[in-house]
Copies of this chain bind each other. A is one copy, B any other.
Amino acid sequence: MSSSTPKNNDPYKNKKQIAIIGSGAWASVIARIIARNVLILKRFHPIVKMFVYDEIINNKKLSDIINETHENVKYAPGYIFTKNLKAIPDLVECVKFADILVFVVPRQYVENTCKTIVGNVKPNAVAVSLTKGFEVRPGGSLWLISHIITKLLNIKCHVFMGANLAPEVAAEQKICRSTLGCTHKTWGKWLKEIFETDHLKINVVDDEDTVEACGALKNIVATAVGLMDGLAQKNHYKEATMRLGFIEMIKFVDIFYPGGKLSTFFESCGIEDLIVTSYGGRNSKCAKEMVVTGKKLAQIEEEMLKGQKLQGPDTASQVCTMLRAHKMTHKFPFFTKVHAVCNGDEPPDSLKEYVEKNMSKKTYVPVNLII
């Protein structure tokens, strides 16, 4: 197997190279799948590079450990990579020959990552973002992560979102589902090839922004479900909370991503991911723990997520910053309430009161979406 640097005599020089940016739990699960898949896919270069932000573990660099043991001992212990997965501690080195950039970093690192690699990315490369969330830009506008990537790198960015839970995808004991948002038919086919396995079934839809918005917003709803669960184990109102949140997700896409499709909410990235995440994901688990223990979000993140930011509260915070800037918080009372509770501005009980008071609220009828 040759090095992945293209040379004239390189038999793989026309093969598409893949770089995975990120080495956390989800990134490692996805890297493991992609590396295994390319071994039998002729279109792709057999070496898959994964950028590893180096940390020292037992006096050794994590990237060296991964390349020697083929295991991400810190974030995905127990799951062995095929040997064609190479951990690369240098970000530019990782991406410079890549035709496909798979972003799986927390959204807080996306901008700096792009700024680091800009100018070293192939002009025809495409990106796929698995990163969930939004980012408020100076001026108060809210950007989808894929839009940031496209803007900063000047390449097209597709998206890949649930319904699935990282540990379940990793375990490969049940079949999980994901939705690939991709407007380009050929790329949609190729990207599906690298992600799909017998245990991870992928559906390609062309409504990228809605797919991505669902992936981000559902974490706010799942957080709310966890808060409600913590407040009252028996009278949890989980389904009513899910419905109120789902309605606000639709309203949000209707207002901010006009032209999207209502039917995308019925894809696995929509209603199914919402249910999966609300019942089993870490947003709801951590949110429940916040209420049960009375601890603040930051402490829960420290204790349960090794200091990582919990996505739901972070997404709620970004969304609400934008809503405040545009005097639109009153249009999104659900998201606003979840943010207020996670931020410590209001007690969890106020969310319960809100849900109880609004649970028979009529659904929102979108005006800017098509079916």
Name A358's closest neighbour in chain B (CB-CB). Answer: B201
Given A174-B237, A237-B175, A356-B175, the answer on whether A362 and B243 have CB atoms closer than 8 Å is no
How far does the Cβ of A245 sit from chain B's closest Cβ, in whole Å? 11
Residue of chain B at shortest CB distance from A360: B201
Contacts of A203 in B (CB 8 A): 360-362
Contact pattern, A 337-371, Cβ under 8 Å of B = 1, otherwise 0: 00000000000000000001001111111110101
A272 on the B face (CB < 8 A) = yes
- The 5 A-B pairs of least Cβ separation, nearest first, read A201-B360, A174-B235, A266-B363, A243-B272, A203-B360
Q: Is A240 part of the contact surface with B, judged by Cβ < 8 Å?
A: yes
Copies of this chain in its oligomeric complex: 2
Q: Closest approach, in angstroms, between the C-beta of A104 and any C-beta of chain B?
A: 21
CB distance from A343 to the nearest CB of B (A): 26
Query: In the complex, what distance in Å separates the CA atom of A177 from the CA atom of B359?
Result: 7
A239 contacts B272, C-beta separation under 8 Å: yes
* A246 contacts across to B, CB distance below 8 A: 266, 271
Contact residues in B for A365 (Cβ distance below 8 Å): 261, 263, 371
**Which residue of B is nearest A366, CB measured?**
B371
Residues of B within 8 A of A205 (CB): 362
Closest-by-CB residue of B relative to A201 is B360
Assuming the contacts A173-B235, A267-B363, asked whether A240 and B272 have C-beta atoms less than 8 A apart, the reply is: yes
- A sample of 12 inter-chain contacts (CB < 8 A) reads A174-B237, A175-B240, A177-B240, A177-B359, A201-B359, A203-B361, A238-B275, A242-B272, A243-B271, A261-B365, A263-B365, A369-B371
A157→B262 CA distance, assembly (Å): 30
**Does A163 have its Cβ within 8 Å of any Cβ on chain B?**
yes
Tell me the A230-263 residues at the B interface (CB within 8 Å).
Answer: 234-235, 237-240, 242-243, 246-247, 250, 261-263
Q: Which residue of B lies closest to A250 (CB)?
A: B266
Query: Hey, which chain B residues are within 8 Å of A174, CB to CB?
Result: 234-235, 237
Q: Which of A177, A237, A367 has the most CB of B within 10 A?
A: A177
Bound CA–CA A246/B201 (angstroms):
19
Contacts of A360 in B (CB 8 A): 177, 201-203, 268
Q: State whether the Cβ of A276 lies closer than 8 Å to any Cβ in chain B.
A: yes
Best-buried of A201, A243, A360, A364 by chain B (most CB within 10 Å): A360
Report Cα–Cα, A361/B235, bound state, in Å.
Answer: 34
A355 smallest CB distance to B (angstroms): 9
* In the complex, chain B residues whose CB is within 8 Å of the CB of A361: 203
Interface string of A195-219 (1 = CB under 8 A from B): 0000001110100000000000000
A175 and B242 contact, Cβ closer than 8 Å, known pairs A262-B262, A365-B263, A371-B262:
no
Name the residue on B nearest A192 (C-beta). B360
In the complex, chain B residues whose CB is within 8 Å of the CB of A271: 242-243, 246, 271
Q: Which residue of B lies closest to A362 (CB)?
A: B203
Considering the complex, give the chain B residue whose CB is closest to the CB of A200. B360
Beyond contacts A175-B359, A246-B271, A267-B363: 14 other A-B pairs, Cβ-Cβ < 8 A, are A163-B240, A173-B235, A174-B234, A175-B235, A175-B240, A177-B360, A202-B360, A205-B362, A239-B275, A243-B268, A246-B266, A263-B363, A367-B371, A371-B371
Closest to A361 in B: B203
Q: How far is the CA of A139 from the CA of B85 in the complex (A)?
A: 63
